[in-house]
Amino acid sequence: MALILAGCGPDESTEASGLRKGTTDTSSASTTTSARATTTSAESSQTSSAPTTTRSGGSTSGTASQTTCAEFRQLDIAGEKALIEAILAEHPESPFAGSPNVALGTAKLVCLSDEMANTPVAEAAGIVEP
């Protein structure tokens, strides 16, 4: 009986907390902290390499927000994640703010459609209003 109760107690430092924060390693607190530092430096280098397009329209979005689904599909996993995080940084008021994994999953799904190839990822995924 004690094991069942111990298993049901809240443990804020476990996998669920790491998933909400976008970390990839949750085996221990010290490993998670070092993984965050490594991930952050890797993301900053990936952000600069993410392809972007500039449009002549009157959009107030940043360059990451102008990346089309066709360009998004050409990225590797790290590039996709870095692009979505850059889009979320450009739009802190987004309904996906604080949920980069949800935004990434949504972008991957909607950009599978060939009809969305020329649509900016941020608009197709609902991160910003069209």
Question: Per-residue DSSP letters for 92-121?
Answer: TTSTTTT-HHHHHHHHHHHTTSGGGTTSBH
pLDDT digits (tens, 9 = 90+) for 67-115: 999 999 999 999 999 999 999 999 999 999 999 999 999 999 999 999 9
Instruction: Give this prediction's pTM.
Output: 0.54
Distance CA 57, CA 69 (A): 18
Task: Give domain limits for the chain.
Answer: 25-124
Contact 108/100 with Cβ under 8 angstroms?
no
